[in-house]
A and B are shown apart, each in its own frame.
Chain A
């Protein structure tokens, strides 16, 4: 595709529900990243994929958060038993290699009520 695509663009969910956020990176990009942008905060690193493996999951806030990547392409970020503090914009980015410029998607705005 022309750019990094994320879906849904907006998600409202009730506290305690599970949510899945999807990211379609640019074709051919081997590296994929998830970041979180909370209100008034900078972007917080969550996880980095190289191909299908995630050598760095250090930014995942708790064990309620998980992510996977399949076929070296699409990635899904799953949040289980959502809490209000999970409300944020979740941004996905991809790059050709790990030290190439990042291309960001438009993000998924998650609101937990």
Chain B
């Protein structure tokens, strides 16, 4: 079955540090991949997505590249800010399945950025 594995948190960084949050997936078909972010006290928001191999999703300085050969979709940002402190969720949906509407989420990674 389909699944998503994320690195455990919390990840604590100083402002302007480089960020990587690892995400790998298992899928029977060719999934679409997503990163969602949950800021304190708010609902989940779509951060970026990629729908096919080698696609790069980007938003707000964050990037992730769909790597089919390594089944990965790692989230990166070159210089984090305190305002990036949040919980980040990797997720997939499988368009080849009848349940393509269903998102499969990882367990989330908490990021704390210190001034």
Contacts and interface: CB of A to CB of B under 8 A. Distances in A.
| A, B co-complexed | yes
A106 B100 contact: no
Interface residues of B, number: 22
Contacts of A12: none
A101 B101 CA distance: 10
B71 interface: no
B50 to A, nearest CB: 13
A19 B107 CA distance: 26
Interface residues of A, number: 25
A40 B43 contact: no
B108 interface: yes
Given A42-B4, A42-B89, A56-B99, A101 B105 contact: no
Nearest to A48: B101
Contact of B43 (A91, A98, A99, A101): A91
A45 interface: yes
Contacts of A93: 44
B57 interface: no
A41 interface: yes
A31 interface: yes
